[in-house]
Amino acid sequence: MATLYSSLAREIVERIEQGLYRPGDRMPGVRILSAQRGVSIATAVAAYRRLEDDGYIEARQRSGFYVRARPHPRVAEPEASAPRVRPSPVTGQELVLQLVKATNTPGIIQLGAAVPDPSYLPTRAIERALSRAARQRLRIMAYEFPPGAPELRRQIARRMAEIGCPVDPDEVVITNGCQEALILALRAVTQPGDVVAIESPTFYGMLQALDSLGLEALEIPTHPRTGLSLEALGLALERWPVKACVAVPNYSNPLGYCMPDEHKRRLVALLKARGIPLIEDDVYGDLGFAQRRPSVCRAIPGADVLYCASFSKTLSSGLRIGWIAPGRHLERVEYLKYVNNLATATVPQLAIADLLESGGYERFLRQVRGDYARAVTRMVDAVTRHFPEGTKITQPEGGFVIWIELPKDIDSFELARRALTEKISIAPGPIFSATQKYRNYIRISCACAWDTRIETALAALGRMIRQETAPVPESRMTTRRDAD
Amino acid sequence: MATLYSSLAREIVERIEQGLYRPGDRMPGVRILSAQRGVSIATAVAAYRRLEDDGYIEARQRSGFYVRARPHPRVAEPEASAPRVRPSPVTGQELVLQLVKATNTPGIIQLGAAVPDPSYLPTRAIERALSRAARQRLRIMAYEFPPGAPELRRQIARRMAEIGCPVDPDEVVITNGCQEALILALRAVTQPGDVVAIESPTFYGMLQALDSLGLEALEIPTHPRTGLSLEALGLALERWPVKACVAVPNYSNPLGYCMPDEHKRRLVALLKARGIPLIEDDVYGDLGFAQRRPSVCRAIPGADVLYCASFSKTLSSGLRIGWIAPGRHLERVEYLKYVNNLATATVPQLAIADLLESGGYERFLRQVRGDYARAVTRMVDAVTRHFPEGTKITQPEGGFVIWIELPKDIDSFELARRALTEKISIAPGPIFSATQKYRNYIRISCACAWDTRIETALAALGRMIRQETAPVPESRMTTRRDAD
């Protein structure tokens, strides 16, 4: 049912797409819009919020709504995925660790793993915080049994309140990064053999988690701008005995979309109606390019959500500090954390608590979000220049990875293998699927230190792709034309 | 079949027990013994080695064999356990975390968890090593993907060679403490529903691991001086489809025995004959009171052993650094480690590598082994003074916990609960059993900072035990007598 505000929003989208409002333009104020269209102010606000959710405009504090820059309006995006929606064991994940280890080769151009180059991280601040933490001698010698260091849990609870999701510090359990949080969440709400609904494509850490726990994956079609197809999910829930759903609603890896608020509400309601818990991975939530920090499903009243996040993409991967706010599953999650490794190391917990308490986190985020936005734009530019015409690239609204659709006949495993021989690491598409779909896709991390070697590497990748597509005469023609 | 050397060994034991050789006395040299008894030198050596394995004598380098001090020759030890040998799911472990968390109460007398007081640990050296590690800024920001930091794996491999168990650094996988190593080992070699043979009593972390992984425990009778009954294990393996065996051959928790070398060889052979892997937990192996570092099963040629250990009992619990040398299960273990939490925190890995490289570890161990030996002696003394007569106490040969058998009618859960109200934590016996046996047993950690509060606490515990046994007239009589 089209509501008044959504028709109004659609109309404004048309104006933006016609170029009547250009990136950076200020939109009419809500009072003006309301008067112009003869709608209530509430409807005008709702229409703008919808446009904001859809990534067309952004609110600037005390200044109104502005049209957002779409970095590459003419770069084609991949379509929504259309996996076969049927539970399946996860296959082919053992080789991911081999790929990851290969990226440790000295001198490698690291475009594969979603690991920020240290130049994006506050290295000096971390060093200082660690040295201060090391001085708490007696404290750091001892176990910090679950739920973890109280000062860190307090800081995390404060941060969560700031992003609109208040939780009690005692409901936060510190983990060894977000991956451990996800493993604990899955173990808390499933048994081996259970079916778990997931985005498709989704990040391989989740697929490995399902594989290692003997769970079946139910891959749900996912749109590169709005995320999980709620229609497809609804149908799948009718048909299959789903025990949990995992989503990365904010700047999902690898697609980079931010699920609109309304979708988040519908997702939560859909699952709640069937008593299915949502495992929400918000590890990229702080890294959006828009002004507004996106909302989290955990904050929706009545939601049964195990919220998982970490500081691995913002402060430091190597400190291995993540957390989970598991709601009603708290007791089980604490027990499983204790069993898994008794405690998370104390010194990184104290260092991060110190860093958060000293108050620079929000300021640092503002800076690094800009850095990542520029890194993504630069990478999309370069890929557009070096890869054959017809290449489709996502335009993420946060995070630092892009998902690239290559010509149909490209085998991205073969491409990744060849790239490694030239000391370039990329992530081949099939590792983002439980059933090794996305054969002609790759994921590229943009959070690398940019230098001429990156341009050279992308040019080399472009060459390899053209060579791969060359053998078939028809595509050779296309390729030749593309190469002009 | 009694061999010549074992008859000779038995004869010498009689002499020692008669007091002909007293603690600290030097035994006759092997040449003299060989000449005196008309046996070969090899037989004399074998007899002494047997006595050494059984804990009667110890070798001192270039000086011969000496009678070992038995700290409390008149303290009775608990008998070998006699659990019903039949697979069973683990029950009752959820409450352990509650007990552990209760011990975080300020001002509590901590006799429960097997956690060394920081006064036993090299706190200053750890602080310095951490500060040095923090200065490796770029390094500590990044993931150390499995198997883990090369410099730490090299140091661990060196240490393992020194203790007679050479492994390649690439076969060592760094974990978040020994508990994670054990979890990975279990996951590598079992499926939910499988049966795992374990010591009984055994430490609750292992029981929780079995519980959380849906494994069944097969509790094997265990002797407080020689460990797992190999006869009982042999029979159990005939009868039940055992998929793995877990043992803590050196200074097992809670019993504290050190399995004689010959038993280790038989254990390995018994399992090997049936293709069953051994998960060897050697977390206390460096903490023996005898001169000689005990051997490890992993070193026995052809053994299928996943060797697990950590620095949590020697250097620092809070750094959470352990490792696993999983032999032929390496690839699976690395994958599971990656899935479990991607990597262990980098900074503690570098700090421990630095500490080991700087060479003070062996010297530090010599000191702390003496500290623990004294702590155990002091605790056994105090328990003997404060607890009712008839109390039986293990006399561990390493580590820092003692296992205490109380009068039959004592409910140690009730005792632990009452003790907590007086701010004393102890570990009740049933949490060391899959089926909540050992109701009248408790485990006490001796690695506390000794002060008058400990004496007071033990006196209070003694009083509570007497009160508990009082209500039944017969036992009251006994108790009165005991209390005299």
The interaxial angle of helices B330-341 and A177-189, nearest 10 deg, is 90
Partner A, chain B 360-389, Cβ-Cβ below 8 Å: none
CA atoms of A386 and B63, how far apart (whole Å):
75
Indicate if the pLDDT at residue B477 is higher than 50.
Answer: no
The CATH number of residue A17's host domain is: 1.10.10.10
| Same domain for B473 and B380 | yes
Please report residues of B whose CB lies closer than 8 A to that of A135: 127
Alpha-helix runs per DSSP H in A123-260: 123-134, 137-141, 150-162, 177-189, 204-212, 230-239
Helices A41-53 and A261-273, axial angle in degrees (round to 10): 80
The amino acid that residue B310 corresponds to is S
User: Phi then psi for B61, rounded to 5 degrees?
Assistant: -55, 130
Same domain? For A255 and A351 the reply is yes
Asked if residue B256 is part of any domain, the answer here is yes
Nearest C-alpha neighbor of A282 from the set A160, A371, A445, A189: A160
Q: What is the pLDDT of residues A129-151, one digit of tens each?
A: 999 999 999 899 989 999 999 99
What DSSP element (H or E) covers B402? Answer: strand B401-405
- Give the gap in angstroms from C-alpha A101 to the nearest C-alpha of chain B: 7
Residues B146, B94 share a domain: no
How many Å is the maximal CA-CA distance in chain B?
A: 71
Asked whether residue B338 carries a pLDDT value surpassing 60, the answer given is yes
Domain's final residue, options A360, A386, A408: A360
Kindly list the residues from chain A whose CB atom is less than 8 angstroms away from the CB atom of residue B346. Answer: 318-320
Q: What is the pLDDT of residue B73?
A: 60
Q: What is the pLDDT of residue A341?
A: 96
Beta-ladder partners of A47: none
Q: Looking at the structure, tell me whether residues A300 and A322 fall in a common domain.
A: yes
Q: Do A145 and B100 touch (CB under 8 A)?
A: yes
Quote the pLDDT of residue A483: 37
Q: What is the DSSP secondary-structure string of A362-387?
A: HHHHHHHHHHHHHHHHHHHHHHHHHS
CA B124 distance to own-chain centroid: 26
Ordered DSSP codes for B273-327: HTTPPEEEE-TTGGGBSSSSPPP-GGGSTT--EEEEEESTTTT-STT--EEEE-G
Q: What is the mean pLDDT of residues B453-457?
A: 95
Give contacts of B121 with chain A, Cβ < 8 Å: 141
What is the predicted pLDDT for the residue at A71? 54
B404 and B352 both lie in a single domain: no
B124 close contact with A: CB closer than 8 A: yes
Structure tokens at B407: 């009068």
pLDDT-above-70 percentage for chain B:
95
Residue B398 DSSP one-character state: B
Q: Residue B437 contacts by C-beta under 8 Å, 6 or more apart in sequence? A: B81, B83, B200, B201, B219, B429, B430
Q: What is the mean pLDDT of residues B138-157?
A: 94
B346 contacts A319? CB cut-off 8 A: yes
Place of tokens 């109701």: B439
Instruction: Say whether the peptide bond before residue A201 is cis (omega within 30 degrees of 0).
Output: yes
Whether A77 maps to a domain, the answer reads no
Of A334 and B19, the structure prediction assigns the larger pLDDT to A334
Reported pTM: 0.86
How far apart (Å, rounded) are the C-alpha atoms in residues B243 and A251? 43
Mean pLDDT of A372-391: 93
The answer on pLDDT for A353 being more than 90 is yes
Q: What would the two tokens of residue B292 be? A: 């000689």
Residues B390-400 pLDDT 10s: 899 998 989 99
Find the residue in B nearest to A336 (Cα).
B212
- Inside any domain, residue A371: yes
Using DSSP's 3-state secondary structure scheme, residue A360 falls into coil
Asked if B318 and A100 come within 8 Å (Cβ–Cβ), the reply is no
How many angstroms separate the Cα of B223 from the Cα of each of B191, B228, B240, B242?
Answer: 29, 6, 21, 21
* Euclidean distance between CA atoms B262 and A463, whole angstroms: 64
Q: What is the value of ipTM here, to two decimals? A: 0.85
Query: B480 pLDDT band (50/70/90 cuts)?
Result: very low
Q: What are A148-183's pLDDT values in tens digits?
A: 999 999 999 999 999 999 999 999 999 999 999 999
Judged on CB neighbours under 10 Å (0-12, 13-18, 19+), B99 is buried
CB contact, 8 Å: B60 with chain A?
no
Is B474 in CB contact (< 8 Å) with chain A?
no
Beta bridge partners of B398: B288
Specify the CATH number for the domain of residue B414.
Answer: 3.90.1150.10
CA distance A376 to B164: 53
Binary contact (A141, B126; C-beta < 8 A): yes
Question: What percentage of chain A reaches a pLDDT higher than 70?
Answer: 95
Confidence of residue B208 (pLDDT cuts 50, 70, 90): very high
Q: Is B329 on the interface with A (CB under 8 A)?
A: no
Contacts of residue A204, Cβ cutoff 8 Å, sequence gap at least 6: A93, A96, A427, A431, A432
Specify whether B261 is located in the same domain as B398: no
Residue from B152, B339, B368 to probe the interface with A (highest A Cβ count within 10 Å):
B339
Residue spans of beta strands (DSSP E) within B159-293 = 173-175, 195-200, 216-223, 227-228, 242-247, 278-281
User: Is residue A81 a part of any domain in this protein?
Assistant: no
Q: Which of B306, B99, B266 is nearest to B185 (CA)?
A: B306
Look at residue B77 and tell me if it is in a domain.
Answer: no
Residues B315 and B388 in one domain: no
Q: How near does any CA of chain A get to the CA of B202, in Å?
A: 15
Instruction: Indicate if B221 and B346 belong to the same structural domain.
Output: yes
8 Å CB contact between A322 and A285: no
Number of domains in chain A: 3
Alpha carbons B404 and B465: distance in angstroms, whole number: 12
What was the pLDDT predicted at A476?
42
The C-alpha of A106 sits at a distance from chain B's nearest C-alpha, in angstroms, of 13
What is the Cα–Cα distance from B357 to A68, expressed in whole angstroms?
55
Residues A131 and A239 in one domain: yes
pLDDT tens profile A211-243:
999 999 999 999 998 899 999 999 999 999 999
Q: Return the structure tokens found at A104.
A: 């440790």
B305 and B375 inside one domain:
no
CA distance A133 to chain B (A): 9
What six digits make up the tokens of B420?
Answer: 């907590």
Residue B211 in any domain: the answer is yes
- Domain for residue B20, yes or no? yes
Residue-wise pLDDT for A443-483, tens only, equals 999 999 888 999 999 999 999 999 987 655 544 444 433 43
Would you call A347 and B346 a contact, using CB atoms and an 8 Å cutoff?
no
* A332 and A191 share one domain: yes
Tell me the pLDDT tens digit for each residue of A244-290.
999 999 999 999 999 999 999 999 999 999 999 999 999 999 999 98
Residue closest to B413 by CA, chosen among B393, B372, B442: B442
Q: Across residues B238-262, what is the average pLDDT?
A: 95
Spell out which residues of chain A touch residue B173, defining contact as CB-CB under 8 Å: none
Query: What range defines the domain where residue A30 resides?
Result: 4-67
| B105 near A CB under 8 A | no
Nearest chain A residue to B127 by CA: give it. A134
Which one of A178, A310, A340 would you mutate to disrupt binding with B, by most B Cβ within 10 Å of its Cβ? A340
> pLDDT at residue B68 above 60?
yes
Q: A281, A299, A225, A255: which is closest to A399 by C-alpha?
A: A255
Confidence of residue B434 (pLDDT cuts 50, 70, 90): very high
Preceding omega of B201 cis (within 30 degrees of 0): yes
Residue A62's pLDDT band (cuts 50, 70, 90) = confident
How far is Cα A344 from Cα A146, in angstroms, rounded to an integer? 8
Contact state of B319 with A346 under an 8 Å Cβ cutoff: yes
Asked if residue B388 belongs to a domain, the reply is yes
Task: Map tokens 């140690």 to a residue.
Answer: B412
CATH number at residue A146: 3.40.640.10
- pLDDT score of A101: 76
Are residue A323 and residue A460 in the same domain, yes or no? no
Check whether B118 has a pLDDT greater than 70. yes
Using left for φ > 0, alpha for ψ between -120 and 50, and beta otherwise, residue A396 falls in: beta
Looking at residue A468, its pLDDT comes to 82
